[in-house]
A and B are shown apart, each in its own frame.
Chain A
Amino acid sequence: MTPKAKFAAVWAVLLAAILAVLACVLVLVVQAIPEAERARVVASVEDPFGLGLLVFLALFALTGLVARALVRSQIEPLRRLIEGARIQLSANPSHRVELAGSAENQEVGRIVNAFAERYETLQRDVEARIHEANAGLEEERNRLAALMSELTQSVLVCNVEGRILLYNQRARQLLSGGAEGKNGSTLSGLVGLGRSVFGVIDRNLVVHALENVRYRIDQGDARPLANFVATSPNGTLIRAQMVPVFGQEREISGFVLTVEDIKRSVEMEGQRDDLLQSLTQGTRASLATIRAAVENMLAFPEMDADRRSQFTHIISDEAGKLSGLLDQKEAEYARAVKGQSRLEPMLGSDLISAVQRSVESRLDMHTNTEEVAELLWLNVDSYTLVQAITYLATRLREEIRIRDLRFRLRSEGRLAHLDLIWSGGFLSVDTILAFENDPFTAGGFASPLTLNDVVARHGGEAFYQFDRPRMTSCFRLLLPRAEAEQAWAGPTPLASRPEYYDFDLFHQPGQSHELDDRLLSDLTYTVFDSETTGLEPSAGDEIIQIGAVRILNGRLLQQEAFDHFINPRRPMSKESIKITGITPEMLATHPTADQVLPAFHRFCEDTVLVAHNAAFDMRFLQLKEASTGVRFTQPVLDTLLLSAVLHEDLQSHQLEAIAERLGINVIGRHTALGDAIVTGEAFLKMIPLLAEKGVLTLKHARDAAEKTFYARVKY
C-alpha cells in the first residue's frame, strides 16, 4: 500500500469510528427523551441538517489532522526503518537507519542498528577468513597471469563457444587493430574477457580447427592439435595453433590458441623462395646449353673449325651468363637479409661485453674497456652489430697485427659513441674504405653484409680518426640512443596483469537465448556515461566524451575500459566546461563522433547497456544514428529508475546519493569513465536488492523501471 493510501485508510477508519460513536450517542439521547417531548425537542433544533454538516466537517478536519500526525509519527518512520534495514541486509551493512518518530520507533531503530553492527563485524570476520583461504588460490592465478604476460607468444584461452576466458597483453596487441586510445582501449578489433574470438579470427577457421582437433582425439592422437593461418583485423598474417582444454569427463571444454605474427616471415620466405626458384632455373638453362655444346664437341670430334669455334663461343657466353646470374641473385639475397633484422633496445654495457666475448673467443686478441657509460640504451640488432665489430677487429688483427683493442662507450646528446681504440697502426683511406665496404667474409664469417650496411641499418655513421700526438687510432661508430622510457619498457611493453582471466566463463551458456528471461546476475553489461557540450541534444549539443566498462559474471572489468574524447566540432557551454574541465582546445585533435560511435557500438555488442539517467545519453546516441550509421538497439537499464524501484520513498536518486547509500567510494566524478565505473558498482549492488523485490530477470527490471518512470512522470 502506498503511503497515500495508508493515510487515506487511517483517516477513513478514524472518521467512521467517531461518526459511529456519535450516531449511537445520538440515538441513545433521543431515546432517553420521553416520547411526548421528542417532537418538541427535535423541532427546537433550528437547522438539524446544518448542524449535522457542521459537526461532520469539524470531525472530518480533526480526524484528518490526527491521521496525518499518526502516519507521520508512526508509519512513515517505520517505512524508512524498513528501507534502511533492507539496505543493511542486502547491500551495505555499514548503512545505519535513521532514528525518527516515536520513542518506540527510535528504540527499534537502535536495535536494528545494533544488529547491523554485529552482522557487519561477523561478515567482516567471515570475509577475512574467505580472503585468507582465497589468497593461496589468487596467488596461483596471479602466477599464471604473470607467466602468460611474460610469454613472447600471444595466447588466448576460449571456451567451446569461442568466448575468451583468458588472454595476454601480447594477444591483445597483435589481434586488436588500430591505434590504442587511453587505457589501452582501441577503436577497432576487440580482444576482451567474454568477447567472442570470432570478432578477431574468422569463425570458419576456428571451427574447422576445432573439428580437426576432435578428429585427432578420436583417432587416439597423443598430441591433438591443429594449426591454421588467418588474417587479423588489421591485416596482419597470423599463424595460430589450437590445443584443446579438457573438462572433467575428458570432453573438450575449450581451447588454447597460440598466435604469432608471420607476415614478415612469410614475406621473407616468399622472397627466398623466389630467389631460389629463379636461381635454379637460370642455372639449369645455362648448364643445359653448355652441356649440349660440350657433348656435341665430344661426340663429333671431326666437326669443322667454324662449328667448333661456334660451340666454344656458346660455352664461354653461357658461362659468363651463369656468373652474372649468381652475382645478381647474391645481391638480391643480401638486400633481403638486410630488411630482415629488427632493432631492439639493449643496454650499451651489455653490447660491449658481448663484443668482447665475441672478439676474444674468435681472435688471438686482448680486449679492454676504457669507459663505458652506465644505463645507456641503444636500439640495435645485436647479432649483426656484434658481427660487424668482430669483423672489424678481425681485419685489424690480420692486416695490421693489432693485439690489444680497447672499447669505449660514451653518450653525446642523442647519440652514443662506440669507439674501438688501439695504439699506433695508422690506417690509410683505402684500407678504411675496404674495411667499410667489404662483405664480412674474413675470419670465418660468410655474410653478404658490409660494415656500412650494418651502420646504415642502425641509422648511424662510422669513421676513423688518428690522434697523432698520442699515436692512437680510433674507429668510431655513431649510434642513436634509445629513449630511456622506451628502453625501460623493454621490447614488449607489458602493463598490468589480472582481470585478464575469468574461468567461470567455462560454464556460461551462449548468449543466443532471449535476453529477456535471463537472470540479471548472468547478463553481460556495458555501463557507460557520456559528457556533452550542453544539455540540449535537439539544439545541437554533442557528445564530447564516452567512457564505458563492462560487467561480466558480476565483475567490473576496469582494464577493458572504453575511454575516448570526441571532437564535437562546435563550441561548448560554459557550464559544461566548468563541470567537465574539458575545453574545446583539448578536443581539437580527437576523432569525431562518426569514428568513435561505431567503435563504441562494437565495444557494447552483445551486452545490455546500463547508464545513470540513461534516457539522456541514449537521446544523444539516437540523434547521431543517421550520421554515424550505427543504431543502439540493445536493451537499456537505467540505474536512476532502478534506484527508484528499490527505494520508492527516498527522494534523491542522484548518482552521489545512490553511491553513498550503497557504500561506494566515488572517485573521479564528471569524467565519463569515472561516472561509468561508479554507475557500474552501484548497479552491481542493486542486483541482489532487486532480487529481494522479486525483480530477477531483465524483463522484470525493465517492467519495474517503466512503472516507476510513469509514476515519476505523473508525480
Chain B
Amino acid sequence: MAKKILIADDEPNIVISLEFLMQRNGFEVKTAGDGEAALRLVTEFRPDLILLDIMLPLKSGYEVCQKIRENPDVSGMKVVMITAKGRDIEVAKGLALGADAYITKPFSTQDLLDKVKSLLSGAA
C-alpha cells in the first residue's frame, strides 16, 4: 500500500509543487491550508508523514506538532518541519517539540525526497 503524506502549508504555490512531487513518487497526498485543517486530517487521513510549515494560520506548526505528539493514536507519525525561519533557535525549538526533521526554505526537492523516503523506510 502506498504511504500517505499530508502537506500543510498556507502558500498554494508551493503546495502545488510538493503535491506533484510526492504524487509522482508514488505517495498518496492530501493538503491542508491551515493548522486546524491539518490537525483534522491527521486523525481522518492518518498520514505516515506530515510536511508541516511553521507559519500556518489558525494554529502554528509548532502547535500542530505538539498536538500530534500528545495523541498516542498517531504515535508513529513522522513530522518534517518546513520553514522560512532559518535561525538555529527555531530549528532547536522544532526538534524539541518532537519534529523528526527540520528543513529550511529554500531546499532542494531531491534532498526533501531523500529525507522523506529515509524516514518512511526507517519506520517500516
Tell me which residues across on chain A come within 8 A of B21, comparing CB atoms. 292, 296, 299
B70 within 8 A of A: no
Tell me which residues across on chain B come within 8 A of A310, comparing CB atoms. 16
| Those of A257-304 within 8 Å (CB) of chain B | 280-282, 284-285, 287-293, 295-296, 299-300
A285 touches B17 (CB 8 A): no
Interface pick from A115-123, A223-231, A311-319, A484-492: A311-319
A280 touches B13 (CB 8 A): no
Compute how far the CA of A310 lies from the CA of B17 in the bound complex, rounded to whole angstroms: 10
Chain B 1-40 interface mask (CB, 8 Å, partner A; 1/0): 0000000000101101110110010000000000000000
Q: A292-B17, A293-B17, A314-B17 are in contact. Are A284 and B24 (CB under 8 A)?
A: no
B16 touches A291 (CB 8 A): no
Compute how far the CA of A343 lies from the CA of B118 in the bound complex, rounded to whole angstroms: 61
Chain A 317-329 interface mask (CB, 8 Å, partner B; 1/0): 1100000000000
B122 within 8 A of A: no
A311 touches B17 (CB 8 A): yes
A282 interface neighbour in B18, B82, B84, B108, Cβ under 8 Å: B84
Tell me which residues across on chain A come within 8 A of B17, comparing CB atoms. 289, 292-293, 296, 311, 314
Q: A280-B86, A296-B21 are in contact. Are A288 and B105 (CB under 8 A)?
A: yes
Chain B 79-121 interface mask (CB, 8 Å, partner A; 1/0): 0001011100000000000000000111111100000000000
B106 touches A299 (CB 8 A): no
A287 touches B110 (CB 8 A): no
Compute how far the CA of A388 lies from the CA of B21 in the bound complex, rounded to whole angstroms: 53
A287 touches B105 (CB 8 A): yes
Tell me which residues across on chain B come within 8 A of A714, comparing CB atoms. none
Q: A292-B18, A292-B21, A296-B20 are in contact. Are A284 and B13 (CB under 8 A)?
A: no
Tell me which residues across on chain A come within 8 A of B104, comparing CB atoms. 284
B109 touches A291 (CB 8 A): yes
Number of interface residues of A (CB under 8 A): 22
A555 to chain B, nearest CB (A): 55
Number of interface residues of B (CB under 8 A): 20
Compute how far the CA of A365 lies from the CA of B13 in the bound complex, rounded to whole angstroms: 54
A288 touches B106 (CB 8 A): yes
Tell me which residues across on chain A come within 8 A of B84, comparing CB atoms. 280-282, 284-285, 288
A281 touches B14 (CB 8 A): no
A295 to chain B, nearest CB (A): 4
B13 interface neighbour in A282, A299, A300, A317, Cβ under 8 Å: A317
Compute how far the CA of A318 lies from the CA of B106 in the bound complex, rounded to whole angstroms: 13
A250 within 8 A of B: no
Tell me which residues across on chain B come within 8 A of A280, comparing CB atoms. 84, 86
Considering the complex, give the chain B residue whose CB is closest to the CB of A290: B106
Considering the complex, give the chain B residue whose CB is closest to the CB of A291: B106
A291 touches B13 (CB 8 A): no
A295 touches B109 (CB 8 A): yes
B20 touches A288 (CB 8 A): no
Tell me which residues across on chain B come within 8 A of A299, comparing CB atoms. 21, 24, 109-110
A331 to chain B, nearest CB (A): 21
A628 to chain B, nearest CB (A): 51
Q: A285-B11, A289-B11 are in contact. Are A314 and B16 (CB under 8 A)?
A: yes
A289 interface neighbour in B14, B85, B108, Cβ under 8 Å: B14
Compute how far the CA of A282 lies from the CA of B109 in the bound complex, rounded to whole angstroms: 19
A307 within 8 A of B: yes
Tell me which residues across on chain A come within 8 A of B24, comparing CB atoms. 299-300
Tell me which residues across on chain A come within 8 A of B109, comparing CB atoms. 291-292, 295-296, 299
Compute how far the CA of A292 lies from the CA of B107 in the bound complex, rounded to whole angstroms: 8
Tell me which residues across on chain B come within 8 A of A317, comparing CB atoms. 13
A292 touches B86 (CB 8 A): no
Compute how far the CA of A281 lies from the CA of B83 in the bound complex, rounded to whole angstroms: 9
Chain A 516-535 interface mask (CB, 8 Å, partner B; 1/0): 00000000000000000000
Tell me which residues across on chain B come within 8 A of A291, comparing CB atoms. 106-109
16 contacts between A and B (CB under 8 A): A284-B84, A284-B105, A285-B11, A288-B84, A289-B13, A289-B14, A289-B17, A291-B108, A292-B21, A292-B109, A293-B17, A295-B108, A296-B109, A299-B21, A310-B16, A311-B17
Can you name 17 extra interface pairs (CB under 8 A) apart from A299-B110, A311-B17? A280-B84, A284-B106, A285-B11, A285-B84, A285-B105, A288-B14, A288-B107, A290-B106, A291-B106, A292-B17, A295-B108, A296-B17, A296-B21, A299-B109, A300-B20, A307-B20, A314-B17
Contact surface of A with B, Cβ cutoff 8 Å: 280-282, 284-285, 287-293, 295-296, 299-300, 307, 310-311, 314, 317-318
| Shortest beta-carbon contacts, A-B, top 8 | A288-B105, A292-B17, A284-B84, A287-B106, A288-B106, A295-B109, A289-B14, A284-B105
